[in-house]
């Protein structure tokens, strides 16, 4: 007897054989149009499976060729004249599988299998922090923000049948990126979701968390936004808490655990005694939510007790946030 999972894999393989080679010959997207205004362009495509394509994008802003994983809508090949809203999923800092993390650690592929959405999973490097580096006030800082918010949307609209309806969600530092992008670029994303994100950079000693992340990636902490004291203006300009008013009109979702062991911990897990990073995110996220409440800005929250800084919780929270993201994408849910 063939198990359903095995049958599904055989069907997917057959679909890939039938559709991918022909598409690859002419590329999945229109590479002649896969160019942004500043010269960013797709320089390679790799078909991973029947619904997944990895792009290699030369980005003048990021100053490198960066990878982007696209997950195609279910009717991509059978409905070639249709355009789709784009869902951006952002990974965390120092993530060893980088742009592949959402498909490797969650059920996002099966969850979105029947959703008419183009899913976009871009690299942010080891510690790009979803921002433009201050770089001591000099030109030449690495700028993942422009890569994600200008170059990629232009390429996706021109060559990969994306509409201008978008939503963005992320875990950990990707949660920061989701809220920061939505606030710094009002109207670019109809919805933003943060799962265990750092949403108030000036809360307590959050700068120490940022510093630790940069040091682990062998990156200069001060090159990012400068000193929290001497360059306080820059820190405020990239801080979701300080930019909260600009989120008015955006569908918002914020979740975090409190760092204590929850339903997904096992007796041999390292997190069985708790998780300080998630506890920090809990306090950080609650402070951000209180700011939204003060401003009268609606937000859907799931601030749960019992939960660590790990993927099983983020997979669950993505599913819980889907109605919010769907509204931002103009979908029924």
Q: How far apart are CA 169 and CA 323, in angstroms?
A: 13
In a domain, 11, yes or no: no
DSSP helix/strand/coil, 68: strand
CA-wise closest residue to 16 among 52, 45, 56: 52
Whether the model clears a pTM of 0.85, i.e. scores above it, the answer is yes
CB 112 within 8 A of CB 119: yes
Q: 52 phi and psi, to 5 degrees? A: -120, 130
Provide the domain limits for residue 156: 31-329
Position 12 pLDDT exceeds 50: no
Residue 30, Ramachandran bin (φ over 0: left; ψ between -120 and 50: alpha; else beta): beta
CB 111 within 8 A of CB 318: yes
In a domain, 168, yes or no: yes
Task: Please tell me the predicted confidence (pLDDT) of residue 333.
Answer: 67
Cβ-based neighbour number of residue 305 at 10 Å: 10
Task: Please tell me the predicted confidence (pLDDT) of residue 304.
Answer: 96
Number of domains in the chain: 1
CA-wise closest residue to 281 among 272, 289, 270, 292: 289
Q: What is the pLDDT of residues 239-257, one digit of tens each?
A: 999 999 999 999 999 999 9
In a domain, 20, yes or no: no
Q: What is the pLDDT of residues 159-173, one digit of tens each?
A: 999 999 999 999 999
Task: Please tell me the predicted confidence (pLDDT) of residue 315.
Answer: 98
Q: 59 phi and psi, to 5 degrees? A: -120, 110
Position 23 pLDDT exceeds 50: no
In a domain, 23, yes or no: no
H/E segment holding residue 155: helix 152-159
Q: How far apart are CA 283 and CA 297, in angstroms?
A: 19
Least confident of 1-10, 206-215, 220-229, 285-294: 1-10
In a domain, 104, yes or no: yes
Position 9 pLDDT exceeds 50: no
pLDDT band at 18 (very low <50, low <70, confident <90, very high): very low
In a domain, 287, yes or no: yes
Task: Please tell me the predicted confidence (pLDDT) of residue 27.
Answer: 82
Contacts 24+ apart (CB under 8 A), 51-59: 51/12, 51/76, 51/109, 51/113, 52/103, 52/109, 53/28, 54/99, 55/29, 57/147, 57/151, 57/152, 57/155, 59/147, 59/151
Q: 272 phi and psi, to 5 degrees? A: -65, -25
In a domain, 163, yes or no: yes
In a domain, 164, yes or no: yes
Query: What CATH number did the domain enclosing 202 receive?
Result: 3.40.50.1820
CB 68 within 8 A of CB 123: yes
Position 24 pLDDT exceeds 50: no
**Residue 10: is it exposed, middle or buried by C-beta count within 10 angstroms (0-12/13-18/19+)?**
exposed
Q: What is the pLDDT of residues 258-272, one digit of tens each?
A: 998 899 987 766 665
| Bridge-based pairing state of the strands 64-71 and 52-59 | antiparallel
Residue with more model confidence, 18 or 140: 140
């Amino acid at each position: 007897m063939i198990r359903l999972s095995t049958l599904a894999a055989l069907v997917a393989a057959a679909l890939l054989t039938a559709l991918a080679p022909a598409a690859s010959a002419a590329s999945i997207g229109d590479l002649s149009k896969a160019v942004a205004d500043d010269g960013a362009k797709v320089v390679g495509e790799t078909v991973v499976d029947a619904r997944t394509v990895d792009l290699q994008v030369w980005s003048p802003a990021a100053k490198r060729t960066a990878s982007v994983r696209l997950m195609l809508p279910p009717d991509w090949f059978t409905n070639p004249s249709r355009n789709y809203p784009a869902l951006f999923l952002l990974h965390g800092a120092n993530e060893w599988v980088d742009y592949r993390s959402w498909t490797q650690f969650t059920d996002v592929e099966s969850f979105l299998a029947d959703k008419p959405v183009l899913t976009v999973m871009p690299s942010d490097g080891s510690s790009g922090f979803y921002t433009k580096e201050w770089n001591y006030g000099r030109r030449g800082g690495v700028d993942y923000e422009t890569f994600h918010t200008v170059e990629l949307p232009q390429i996706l609209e021109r060559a990969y049948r994306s509409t201008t309806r978008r939503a963005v969600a992320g875990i950990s530092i990707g949660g920061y990126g989701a809220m920061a992008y939505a606030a710094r670029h009002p109207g670019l994303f109809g919805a933003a979701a943060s799962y265990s994100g750092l949403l108030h950079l000036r809360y307590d000693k959050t700068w120490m968390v940022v510093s630790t992340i940069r040091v682990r990636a062998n990156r200069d902490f001060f090159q990012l936004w400068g000193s929290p004291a001497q360059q306080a203006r820059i820190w405020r300009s990239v801080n979701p808490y300080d930019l909260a008013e600009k989120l008015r009109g955006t569908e918002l979702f914020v979740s975090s655990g409190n760092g204590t062991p929850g339903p997904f911990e096992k007796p041999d897990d390292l997190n069985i005694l708790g998780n300080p990073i998630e506890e920090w995110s809990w306090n950080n996220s609650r402070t951000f939510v209180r700011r939204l409440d003060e401003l009268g800005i609606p937000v859907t929250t799931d601030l749960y007790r019992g939960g660590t800084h790990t993927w099983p919780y983020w997979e669950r929270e993505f599913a819980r946030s889907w109605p919010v993201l769907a509204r931002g994408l103009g979908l029924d849910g």
